[in-house]
Structure 1
Amino acid sequence: MSDRSTPNIILYTTQTPNGNKASILLEELGIPYGVYKHDFSARTHKEPWYLDINPNGKIPAITDVFSDGKEIHIWESGNVLKYLVEQYDPEFKLWYPHGTRENYELFSWLFFQVSGVGPFQGQATHFLRHVPEKIPYALDRYRNESRRLYSVLEKQLSRSKECYIVGDKFTIVDIAFWSLAATAPWAGLDLEEFPAVQAWYTRLLARPSIQNGMNVPEPHGVVALAADKDGQLTKKFEQFHREWVMDGMKSDAQKLEECKKESAD
C-alpha cells in the first residue's frame, strides 16, 4: 500500500458528477491528494500527456504510487472508487469484505450506476442542454428511461431500514448515486417524484465529505443554480457548456476523419 503520509495521489478532474465521485471519496477517506483541473473548452483532456494516463481522454483519473514503488494510472469512475477503497480502506468503512453477500450486492449496484443511470442521465442532459435544436424523441427516450432507473433506486431505498443503498452504512455506492442525483434537475428530472431518493439525497448533502468533495475543483454549478430564480444564470451556464460540448464533438469528428485518411494512405 502506498504511504498515506505523502500526497502521492493526483486527481485529474473537472466539475462533473463522475469527477465528484472521486473527490467525495477522497475527502471521506481523508487521503491527501493533489488536483489537476482539466479545461474541457481548451481540450486539455485530449492532450497526449493525459491520454498516457487515460487512453479514453475522460475524467476522472488518478495517478498514485503503487505498492511496487511505480506510478499507476486508474481511470473510469467506478474503477477509481474500487481502487481507492481496496488500497486505502482496509477496515471496510465504505465497502464490504471480499466474498461477503454485501460485497457482491455493492458491486451490482455500482455497475448499475455506471452502466445505467450515469449514461442515460448524461444523454438526457445532452439533448436537453447541449443540442441547439430540441429533438422530442430523444428527450422523451432518455428522460423516461432515467426516471425508470431512479424508480429502481427508489424501491431499494424505500425498503432500507438504515436509508443507505447497500447494507447498514454509507458506502461508495451512495457516493456514486449521490453525485448523479445532484445533477438530476439539469437533466430535466425532479427528485420529488421519488420521495425516498429525495430524502436520502437531502440527508447526505449535509455530510462533510460531500460538502467538500462536491466543490472540487470548483463550486458545484448545478446545486448553485437551484437559487437562480429568474433563470438568467442558468441560461449562461447552459450556453457555456453547449459551446464546449459541441466544439468538442466537432473536434473529435475531425480527428477521426484524419485517422481514417492516415490509415488509408
Structure 2
Amino acid sequence: MVDKTSGKEKRVFEGGAMLLYLTDKYDKDNKISFDHDSDEYWETVEWIVWMQSGLGPMQGQANHFYRYAPEKIEYGINRYQTETKRLYQVLNDRLAEQEKAGQGLWLVGNKFTIADIACFSWVNWGAWAGIETKPFPKIERWLDAINARPAVQKGVNIPDEFKLKEIMSSKEKSEEHAKKASAWVMKGQEEDQKKHA
C-alpha cells in the first residue's frame, strides 16, 4: 500500500501493518480501534498478530493443498485443515468469552474493530479451504453480523465483485475456478523456482 497524503510516498506492506497504520493515521475518533494506552489496543494488536502468524498462514496452506496443489497430498490437506479448525476453535472460544463478559459479538471491547476485520478476511472464505463454520456457532453469528454491515458489503467487492460464494454454489463452478487459480499459482511458483534456483 502506498499513502501519498503527506506529500511523499509512505509504503506499508503486510495486511496487519496496513490495518494498524490506517487506523493510527485516519481513525482519530477510534471508531474501529482504541487509544494506544488502553488494554484494548494491545488486545487488538494481539489478534492481528494471531491472524498474521497463525490463521492466515495455516488457512493459506489449507487453500493450497485443498484447491491448488497439482497432486492431492492427503497429509498436507489434513495437516492444514486440522490446524485451521483448531484456530477457528480458538476464535469461537474468544467470541463466546466476549459474549459471556457482556462485550457483544466482537473480538475486542464492545465494538467492531480492525481485529475483526483482520480475522474476517480469512474466515469469510474458509469453505474454499474445505473448512465449514457450522461446528463454530459463535463464528457463524460473528460472520453474519460482519457481512450485514453496509461498509463490509461494499468493501468485499473492491476491486472486483466478490463471487467466491456464488462460485462455490456448484461443484462444477468450484472446480473450474480452482483449476484457473491453480494454473496461476503454479505459474508463479515455477517463475519463483527459476529466479531462486
Normalising by the smaller structure, the TM-score range is over 0.9
Question: Matched residues, percent identical?
Answer: 37
Once the two structures are superposed, residues 141-193 of structure 1 have per-residue CA deviations (whole angstroms, 9 ceiling, x without a partner) of 10000000110000010122311011100000111111111110000100011
Maintained 8 Å contact 2:107/2:115: yes
Higher relative contact order (CA 8 A, sep 6+): 1
**More strand per residue: 1 or 2?**
1
User: Are residues 1:188 and 2:188 paired?
Assistant: no
Maintained 8 Å contact 1:127/1:134: yes
Number of aligned residue pairs: give it: 193
User: Are residues 1:129 and 2:67 paired?
Assistant: yes
The match for 1:247 is: 187
The root-mean-square deviation of aligned C-alpha atoms, in Å, is 1.1
Q: Distance in 2 between matches of 1:206 and 1:249?
A: 37
Maintained 8 Å contact 2:168/2:174: no
Q: How far 1:209 sits from its partner (Å)?
A: 1.2
The match for 1:64 is: 3
The match for 1:103 is: 41
Maintained 8 Å contact 1:182/1:222: no
Structure 1 stretches (4+) deviating beyond 4 angstroms?
A: none
Give the structure with higher Rg (CA).
1
Q: How far 1:226 sits from its partner (Å)?
A: 4.1
User: Are residues 1:79 and 2:17 paired?
Assistant: yes
Once the two structures are superposed, residues 92-129 of structure 1 have per-residue CA deviations (whole angstroms, 9 ceiling, x without a partner) of 11111012111111100110011100000000010010
Amino acid at match of 2:3: D
Pairing of 1:30-45 with structure 2 (within 5 A): none
The match for 1:175 is: 117
Q: How far 1:227 sits from its partner (Å)?
A: 2.9
Maintained 8 Å contact 1:113/1:177: yes
Q: Distance in 1 between matches of 2:177 and 2:12?
A: 30
SS in 2 for 1:167: coil
**More helix per residue: 1 or 2?**
2
Q: How far 1:225 sits from its partner (Å)?
A: 2.3
Once the two structures are superposed, residues 32-61 of structure 1 have per-residue CA deviations (whole angstroms, 9 ceiling, x without a partner) of xxxxxxxxxxxxxxxxxxxxxxxxxxxxxx
The match for 1:114 is: 52
The match for 2:178 is: 238
Amino acid at match of 1:151: Q
Q: How far 1:66 sits from its partner (Å)?
A: 4.9
Q: Distance in 1 between matches of 2:145 and 2:14?
A: 27
Q: Compute the TM-score of the two structures, normalised by the length of structure 2.
A: 0.95
Q: Distance in 2 between matches of 1:77 and 1:192?
A: 27
The match for 2:165 is: 223
Amino acid at match of 2:94: Q
Q: Distance in 2 between matches of 1:199 and 1:207?
A: 13
The match for 1:12 is: none
Maintained 8 Å contact 1:182/1:223: no
The match for 1:4 is: none
Q: Compute the TM-score of the two structures, normalised by the length of structure 1.
A: 0.71
